[in-house]
């Protein structure tokens, strides 16, 4: 498996590939949105505008399937950003990857900073097999959502927002629901909330990460020899297609779960 390019910056370990991919993802999403809204027209929308309006209506459908559309209207922008960001992020890791390889610990630097993971790994390899030349690959291009920190960060944002909304908009119902159906269910309800956070983020991360792992494994199979190359191509085709499907589904699932959690928190009914 390839390493992450991590550098030490002001005492923090910064993953440069995550920085790069976050910037690329945000740029692509913003570019798409800007292109679509460049020549806005009420009566004669262009192709891109139609596409983005379709996305808007899709997200509106998600909202209205989980809660009252009037209540959910303020979250439309959030849902749009989420689904576009996650979808683009999921797709980015599929077509190709950029890997740099290092053999010498003294050369593993970028912008004057040491690539911590590479040097560490090289040292341990040398210690384990002295005399052999170690080779460490660093992956620069991958899905940002294939990183647990990013996926959990998004899930955490939703988690904080959901509980803030519950506390401010639906204080009584929100607090009450921790002690239902009986007061001693409180620990279970608490665990449920945190398990929601974990599953929300980890589901996204796991699906995308697994897809990329299998793609890199297939690519390694392809580079192993002529037979491997021939064998890996159909598998790659199938798995790439399936990954596109999984990426779309995960973007959809993440967004609709966000709305489900929001609706549960701001719902004033006494049903659950």
Partner 1 sequence: MSFSIPSLVLALIAFLILYFLLNKYAFGPLFSVMEKRRELVLQQINEASQTREQAVAYVEEQKQALQDARKEAYDIIEQSRQTSSKQTEQLLEQAKAEAARIKEEAVRDIQSEKNKAVEALRSELGSASVKIASKLLEKEVSSDAAQEELVDQYLKEVGGRS
Q: Which residues bind partner 1 (CB under 8 A)?
A: 1, 4, 6, 12-15, 18-19, 22-23, 25-26, 29-30, 33-34, 36-37, 40-43, 45, 49, 52-53, 56, 76-78, 80-81, 84-85, 144, 147-150, 152-154, 156-157, 209
Distance in Å from the first CA to the final CA of the chain: 45
Between 145 and 174, CB nearer to partner 1: 145
Rounded to a whole number of angstroms, the minimum distance from the CB of residue 76 to partner 1 is 7
Q: Who's near 177: CB < 8 A, 6+ residues apart?
A: 189, 272
Q: Which is nearer to partner 1, 5 or 166 (CB)?
A: 5
> Which residue's CB is nearer to partner 1, number 15 or number 125?
15
Exposed e or buried b per residue across 164-188, where buried means at least 16 C-beta atoms within 10 angstroms of its C-beta: ebbeeebeebbeebeeeeeeeeeee
**Number of neighbours of residue 192 by Cβ within 10 angstroms:** 11
Q: Which is nearer to partner 1, 174 or 205 (CB)?
A: 205
Q: Burial level of 95, CB count in 10 A (0-12/13-18/19+)?
A: exposed
Q: Is 104 exposed, middle or buried (0-12, 13-18, 19+ CB in 10 A)?
A: exposed
Least separation in angstroms between residue 209's CB and partner 1 is: 7
Q: Which is nearer to partner 1, 54 or 179 (CB)?
A: 54
Nearer CB in complex with partner 1: 122/177: 122
- Cβ 151 to partner 1, closest distance in Å? 8
Q: How far is the CB of 155 from partner 1 (least distance, A)?
A: 10
- What stretch of H or E contains 139? strand 136-139
Nearer to partner 1, 13 or 101 (CB): 13
Distance of CA 35 to the CA centre of its chain: 23
| Alpha carbon distance 59, 12 (integer Å) | 37
Q: What is the dihedral of CA 140, 142, 144, 149, to 10 degrees?
A: -70
């Amino acid at each position: 498996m390839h390493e992450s390019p991590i550098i030490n910056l002001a005492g923090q370990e910064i993953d440069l590939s995550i920085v790069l991919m976050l910037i690329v993802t945000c740029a692509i999403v913003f570019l798409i949105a800007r292109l679509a809204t460049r020549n806005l027209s009420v009566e004669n929308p262009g192709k891109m505008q139609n596409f983005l309006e379709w996305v808007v209506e899709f997200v509106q459908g998600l909202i209205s399937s989980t809660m009252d559309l009037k209540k959910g209207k303020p979250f439309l922008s959030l849902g749009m950003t989420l689904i576009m960001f996650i979808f683009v992020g999921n797709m980015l890791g599929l077509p190709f990857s950029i890997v740099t390889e290092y053999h010498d610990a003294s050369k593993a630097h970028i912008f004057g900073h040491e690539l911590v993971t590479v040097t560490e790994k090289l040292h341990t390899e040398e210690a384990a097999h002295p005399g052999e030349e170690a080779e460490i690959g660093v992956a620069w291009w991958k899905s940002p959502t294939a990183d647990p920190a990013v996926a959990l960060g998004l899930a955490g944002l939703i988690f904080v927002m959901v509980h803030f909304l519950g506390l401010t908009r639906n204080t009584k119902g929100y607090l009450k629901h921790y002690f239902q159906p009986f007061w001693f269910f409180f620990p279970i309800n608490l665990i449920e909330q945190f398990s929601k956070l974990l599953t929300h983020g980890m589901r996204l991360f796991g699906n995308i990460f697994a897809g990329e792992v299998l793609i890199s494994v297939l690519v390694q199979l392809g580079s192993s020899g002529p037979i491997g190359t021939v064998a890996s191509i159909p598998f790659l085709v199938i798995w790439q297609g399936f990954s596109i499907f999984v990426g779309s589904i995960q973007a959809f699932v993440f967004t609709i779960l966000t709305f489900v959690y929001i609706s549960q928190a701001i719902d004033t009914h006494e049903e659950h």
